[in-house]
Amino acid sequence: MKELTEIKYWIFDLDNTLYSGQTKVFSEVDKKMSSFISEKFGVDLIEAKKIQKEYFYEYGTTLSGLMKKKNINPNEFLEFVHDIDISWLPKDKLLREELIKIKEKKYIFSNGSHAHIENVTNQLGIDGLFDGAFDITDADFVPKPHLEPYKKLIEKFKLDPKKSILIEDIAHNLEQAKKLGMKTCWLENDEAFAKKDADKPYIDYKINNLPSFLQKINVLRNN
Ligand SMILES: [Mg+2]
């Protein structure tokens, strides 16, 4: 773990990583995706959910599938699905404190939109603590786990992958990061899709609590 005190670029996934999956924030987005599909295609919510998940598993994000198969305007979709009320989500003071202690560069790397990143980080009380964010529009709508967005992220922020770490709840999203030379860290969770590749060798670290993981590294760094 001591090697992590040498990391110069900290890259965080957003959903179910910077906040716990147990908060159900992402369920709100998930519901909005179903109602978007339901309204657009005149199907009921059960059918809409089926289409949504099919696209998600096949294309990496529901949006990718909608763009490829149904020619959906991505901005319209993103605006609709990320318009969620999460005012009930509590501030994460410990996460804030530990992020502040990391003096190296910090980035958010999300398959969601910049508006969603802002909404969530504001609500958690960790806005303004990052050096940049890379969203699905920066990725030209090609989501993780495709290789391209990882390369674009590196290019956009001039990262040195050998001095970078990616922290993610979806184990499979760590594969390309590792191939490019990054350290990888999986946030343990019980979501079948997210944990299905949790035993793959491309995962360097497994943690169950992000703030306390960062706290440990911050303590190590100062010793
Ligand atoms: Mg996530």
Q: At 101, which CATH number?
A: 3.40.50.1000
* Token pair belonging to 29: 């987005």
What pLDDT, on a 0 to 100 scale, did the predictor assign at position 223?
82
What local confidence, expressed as pLDDT, does residue 111 receive?
95
The whole-angstrom separation of Cα 20 and Cα 15 is: 8
Number of domains in the chain: 2
Query: Residue 60: which pLDDT band, with cuts at 50, 70 and 90?
Result: confident
The residue ranking higher by pLDDT, 127 or 222, is 127
- Report CA(62)–ligand 1 centroid distance (Å): 14
Burial of 104 per CB tally in 10 Å (0-12, 13-18, 19+): middle
Summarised one tens digit per residue, pLDDT across range 106-129 is: 999 999 999 999 999 999 999 999
Residues 129 and 164 in one domain: yes
**Measured distance CA(223)–CA(99) in Å, rounded:** 18
In this prediction, residue 63 carries a pLDDT of: 95
Residues 71 and 96 both lie in one domain: no
Is it the case that residue 1 has pLDDT exceeding 90?
no
Residues 60 and 125 in one domain: no
Distance (Å) from CA 223 to ligand 1 centroid: 32
**C-alpha of residue 46 to centroid of ligand 1, in Å:** 24
**Ligand 1 centroid from CA 140, angstroms:** 18
Instruction: Please tell me the distance between residue 128's alpha carbon and the centre of ligand 1 in angstroms.
Output: 20
86 in a structural domain:
no
Joined together, the tokens standing for residue 153 give 């992220």
DSSP E strands in the chain: the ranges are 9-12, 105-109, 132-134, 164-168, 183-187, 205-207
Domain termination residue (choose one: 33, 52, 81): 81
pTM: 0.95
Same domain (yes/no): 121, 133: yes
Compute the distance from residue 110 Cα to the ligand 1 centre, in Å. 7
pLDDT band for position 153 (cuts 50, 70, 90): very high
Instruction: Tell me how far the alpha carbon of residue 112 lies from the centroid of ligand 1, in angstroms.
Output: 9
